[in-house]
Amino acid sequence: MIIGRRRPIRIGLSARIFHPEQGASGIRAKTLQVLERSIAEWVMARGVMVLMVPSVLQDSALMRSHIRLRDYAEYLDGLVLQGGADVSPGAYGEEPLRPEWSGDAVRDAYELELLHEFMEAGKPVLGICRGMQLINVALGGSLYQDLPSQLPGQVAHEGGAFDRNIHEVRFTEGGQLSRWAGGIAGGKVVSIHHQGIRRFGRDLVPEAVAEDEVVEAIRWKGRSFVFGVQWHPEFHQQPGIELLDCMPLLEAFLSAAKP
């Protein structure tokens, strides 16, 4: 045992959920809960401990204890909501305009409870892409189900280039994001989304927008650190491409998470 050594910050990452594929066999016939390596490595870049938080199903055949999501919120120092599937329109009182925009209601229920527990515990939360949208919905906001058809603009928020789909964002003058970044006006970000914020949730304010005014970052004005970005900071270390330095954002989050 090393006397006097401070324990590492413990950050929880929400799980991406992959449901069994119809007619599949083997691993694809199972429910998978995973984390994307790039987001884990980005968070770990400052020497913190990262743990994936699995969904806790009380009726699971594998349930062997009474561990709840609340227990994770008490044990961990902060939460990152990673990207992935669409948020279900049912989560904000709408029907999907097209079947492929139905989202993942199972993951929504899990992450909404997880977010609630961390906010109740006063622990910091950082939402990435879908995670930002989920924060907005959790606080009573709504989303555009599909930006290209509902809010046509000049900015391509997703494309075939995937993690090389890039556009500019502009920081809110005097906002936290601008201060963390040393007062710069904005920068280029990796964008992989077709949904976006339509109506703001309670006590949420914009921290950045794209050139077409689509909201790209949000901050909660409540008692704890709750922040979301629509872009993917985990994909910002690309050789030959000048992208926004997202380390000040990570450091602000981890500073709020220090035990």
Residue 103's pLDDT is 95
**Cα 185 to the center of its chain, rounded Å:** 23
Q: How many CA atoms lie within 13 A of 16 on its CB side?
A: 15
Annotated active-site residue in 117, 167, 234, 236: 234
Residue 248's pLDDT is 96
- The sign of the CA dihedral 62, 65, 71, 75 is negative
Assess whether 232 carries a catalytic annotation. yes
Residue 65's pLDDT is 59
Helix (H) or strand (E) holding 73: helix 69-75
CA distance 17 to 84: 9
Residue 1's pLDDT is 42
- Nearest in space to 81 (alpha carbons), one of 49, 107, 120: 107
- Nearest in space to 134 (alpha carbons), one of 122, 149, 119: 119
Query: What number of residues does the chain have?
Result: 259
Helical pair 130-138 and 105-120, crossing angle rounded to 10 deg = 70
Assess whether 193 carries a catalytic annotation. no
The residues near 112 (Cβ < 8 Å, ≥ 6 apart) are 91, 134, 137, 138
Annotated active-site residue in 129, 193, 236, 246: 129
Annotated active-site residue in 157, 167, 232, 236: 232
Assess whether 246 carries a catalytic annotation. no
Residue 66's pLDDT is 73
Q: Split the chain (259 residues) into runs of 10 and give each run's mean pLDDT.
A: 72 90 87 87 93 73 67 96 95 96 93 96 98 98 96 89 93 95 94 97 98 97 97 91 94 96
Pairing status of strand 32-34 against strand 16-18: antiparallel
CATH architecture designation of domain 10-257: 3-Layer(aba) Sandwich (3.40)
Q: Give the domain ranges of the chain.
A: 10-257
Total-model pTM = 0.93
- DSSP single-letter state for residue 151: S
- Nearest in space to 76 (alpha carbons), one of 56, 94, 53: 53
